[in-house]
């Protein structure tokens, strides 16, 4: 009898392990949709008082994991994208503040591991379609933008850092040159110059190709993404699609069918609803192709809402893009970097809300954890796995602290419920604006208890001086070590000095 029981256990164990192995072989497709300048309060499942309805994004949240304490590693575009793809804080690179522009050189070294190169090693077909905003090297760019030969391929773009395919634009929709690039080649040589001066639809003057129409960029990104999914859903290899949108970033250009849809007399909420429509169509094509259940689909924003949305007008309608949070894009306040962050994978993830602290730098460690890949010491230095937060098997530690960075290069450090801002200003464009007389007259450190004071109204720095010093010490260690995760110390790139951290010995 005992022998029969042992045989039964052995048969069960072999069967179970074979099933697990089969499940691991069937890797999920992965799609990451990154909205541009979308506020936490612009999504109706995050903001019960939202005047913008986003049913497609809400549906993702209802069946996946909706993170309520998710943050971008920076409150502006380029640094967030760098952190997402590399798992490393961008202030460790040569870019110590602000963003890249349309003629700037590549920020990601071809030698650096990215989530695309990691997934390609795991057998994925990898693609990026949309807004790159991490620089590449135009031909002959050293002699200045006027000397670029647009008939020649670009160098050090997406296809050199792990992407098998790229179709998109160099930076924001407001930044010249206005040229589509497919893989390494511009699709057309610019033949004209353009500028728009319509309110909320302003873009910088610059070279523009005949096949580039600002109003048609987001629809083109959507069309290319849908076609990519259709083409690759039938292939044996799983696919990874990184889909960084150009919306609802300025210029705010909703298509005719969305104009006025929100009823708020403002094109910004219409543009948000257009983004929701894109999400709906991505979900639909995944379902039509029979791959939705085994697709890990992520939706998030690259930072908070921009003041180009016209906050005063939206407030008159009862809508607040940052919800209850202070500040907006560019800032160290929560409105600058607390973002909607939703992960859906119907086959493996059950519906839940998670209050765990997560960052946009965490994709690298999460994918490595999912596929049981050990990262090199110089990869994903600031990345923590959030598999546990998805209620998936993981022994990786949860994130407990986070460094945030602002437009002007200021730092904030979060540990548990407390956040210290190492500046007297917002670090960006909201009050007290960086460099203003008001900011100069205020304490040079701010400390907030986000549990008791999520709106960041009460600066506790004078009452909690020991805590401030402790948090500053922890931040200094993160900066010096070249990493915030366990492992061998690494070197930061560029000048290893930040004026905003002048206090650091």
From 414, 219, 303, 218, select the one nearest 42 (Cα to Cα): 303
What is the dihedral sign for C-alpha 379, 381, 386, 392? positive
N- to C-terminal Cα distance for the chain? 72
Q: How many CA atoms lie within 13 A of 36 on its CB side?
A: 25
Tokens of 461: 């720095």
CA distance 99 to 8: 62
C-alpha–C-alpha distance, residues 346 and 292, integer Å: 8
Task: Measure the CA–CA gap between 441 and 443, rounded to whole angstroms.
Answer: 7
* β-strands 70-71, 358-359 pairing: parallel
The pTM assigned to this predicted structure is: 0.94
- Give every CB contact of residue 57 below 8 A, 6+ residues apart in sequence: 43, 44, 45, 276, 279, 299, 340, 342
Measured CA distances, 214 to 38, 167, 175, 203 (Å): 19, 15, 11, 9
Nearest to 33 by CA among 330, 240, 284: 240
Q: Where are the beta strands (DSSP E) in 1-43?
A: 29-35
Peptide bond into 251 cis (omega under 30): yes
Rounded distance, CA 33 to CA 37, Å? 13
Pairwise CA distance, residues 238 & 226, whole Å: 16
Residue 425 CA to residue 209 CA, distance in Å, equals: 41
Closest CA to 364 of 465, 479, 242, 447: 242
Cβ atoms within 10 Å of 188's Cβ, excluding its own: 14
Interatomic CA distance for residues 345 and 389, integer angstroms: 13
Q: Do 149 and 155 form a contact (C-beta atoms < 8 A)?
A: no
Tokens 């992965």 found at: 30
Residue 449 phi/psi, 5-degree rounding, is -95, 100
- Token digits for 152? 């020649």
User: 283 is written with which tokens?
Assistant: 């979900």
Over its length of 505 residues, how does the chain's per-residue pLDDT go in tens digits?
Answer: 333 333 333 333 333 333 334 444 589 999 999 999 999 999 999 999 999 999 999 999 999 999 999 999 999 999 999 999 999 999 999 999 999 999 999 999 999 999 999 999 999 999 999 999 999 999 985 656 678 999 999 999 999 999 999 999 999 999 999 999 999 999 999 999 998 888 888 899 999 999 999 999 999 999 999 999 999 999 999 999 999 999 999 999 999 999 999 999 999 999 999 999 999 999 999 999 999 999 999 999 999 999 999 999 999 999 999 999 999 999 999 999 999 999 999 999 999 999 999 999 999 999 999 999 999 999 999 999 999 999 999 999 999 999 999 999 999 999 999 999 999 999 999 999 988 999 989 999 999 999 999 999 999 999 999 999 999 999 999 999 999 999 999 999 988 888 889 888 7
With H, G, I as helix, E, B as strand and everything else as coil, classify residue 306: coil
The DSSP output letter for 488 is: S
The CA distance from 490 to 482, in Å, is 4
User: How many Cα neighbours within 13 Å face the side chain of 413?
Assistant: 19
Count of CA atoms in the C-beta half-sphere (13 A) of 477: 11
For the record, the structure tokens of 28 come out as 């999920």
What token pair was written down for 69?
């304490």
Domains within the chain, CATH numbers bracketed: 28-396 (3.40.720.10), 402-501 (3.30.1120.10)
**CA gap 28, 233 in Å, rounded:** 11
E strands, 341-491, in order:
341-344, 352-354, 358-359, 401-405, 411-415, 418-421, 446-449
Q: Is 376 helix (H, G, I), strand (E, B) or coil?
A: coil
As a whole number of angstroms, the distance between CA 362 and CA 385 comes to 6
């Amino acid at each position: 009898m005992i022998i029969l029981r042992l045989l039964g256990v052995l048969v069960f164990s072999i069967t179970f392990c074979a099933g697990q192995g089969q499940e691991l072989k069937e890797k999920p497709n992965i799609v990451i949709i990154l909205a541009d300048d979308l506020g936490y309060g612009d999504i109706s499942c995050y903001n019960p008082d939202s005047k913008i309805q986003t049913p497609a994004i809400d549906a993702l949240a209802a069946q996946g994991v909706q993170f309520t304490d998710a943050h971008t590693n920076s409150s502006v575009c380029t640094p967030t994208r760098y952190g997402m793809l590399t798992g490393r804080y961008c202030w460790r690179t040569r870019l110590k503040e602000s963003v890249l522009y349309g003629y700037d050189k590549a920020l990601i070294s071809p030698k650096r591991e990215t989530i695309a190169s990691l997934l390609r090693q795991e057998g994925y077909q990898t693609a990026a379609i949309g807004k790159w905003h991490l620089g590449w090297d135009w031909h002959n760019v050293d002699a200045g933008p006027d000397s670029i030969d647009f008939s020649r391929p670009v160098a050090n773009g997406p296809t050199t850092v792990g992407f098998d395919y790229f179709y998109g634009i160099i930076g924001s929709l407001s930044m010249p040159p206005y040229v589509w690039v497919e893989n390494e080649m511009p699709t057309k040589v610019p033949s004209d110059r353009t500028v728009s001066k319509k309110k909320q639809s302003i873009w910088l003057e610059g070279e523009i190709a005949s096949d580039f129409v600002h109003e048609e960029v987001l629809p083109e990104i959507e069309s290319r993404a849908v076609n990519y999914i259709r083409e690759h859903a039938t292939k044996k290899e799983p696919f990874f699609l990184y889909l960084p949108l150009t919306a609802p970033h300025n210029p705010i250009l909703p298509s005719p069918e969305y104009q006025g849809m929100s009823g708020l007399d403002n094109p910004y909420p219409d543009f948000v609803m257009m983004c929701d429509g894109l999400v709906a169509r991505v979900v639909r094509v995944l379902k039509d192709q029979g791959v939705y259940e085994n697709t890990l689909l992520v939706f998030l924003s690259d930072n908070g809402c921009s003041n180009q949305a016209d906050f005063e007008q939206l407030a008159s309608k009862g809508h607040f893009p940052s919800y209850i949070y202070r500040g907006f894009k560019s800032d160290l306040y929560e409105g600058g970097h607390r973002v909607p962050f939703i992960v859906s994978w119907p086959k493996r993830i059950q519906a839940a809300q998670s209050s765990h602290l997560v960052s946009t730098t965490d994709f690298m460690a999460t994918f490595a954890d999912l596929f049981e890949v050990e990262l090199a010491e110089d990869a994903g230095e600031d990345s923590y796995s959030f598999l546990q937060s998805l209620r998936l098997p993981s022994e990786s530690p949860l994130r407990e602290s986070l460094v945030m960075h602002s437009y002007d290069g200021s730092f904030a450090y979060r540990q548990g419920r407390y956040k210290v801002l190492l500046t007297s200003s917002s670090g960006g464009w909201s009050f007290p604006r960086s460099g203003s007389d008001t900011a100069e007259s205020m304490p040079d450190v701010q400390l907030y208890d986000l549990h008791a004071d999520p709106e960041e109204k009460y600066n506790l720095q004078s009452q909690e001086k020991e805590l401030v010093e402790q948090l500053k010490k922890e931040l200094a260690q993160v900066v010096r070590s070249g990493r915030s995760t366990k492992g061998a110390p690494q070197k930061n790139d560029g000048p290893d000095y930040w004026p905003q951290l002048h206090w650091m010995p």
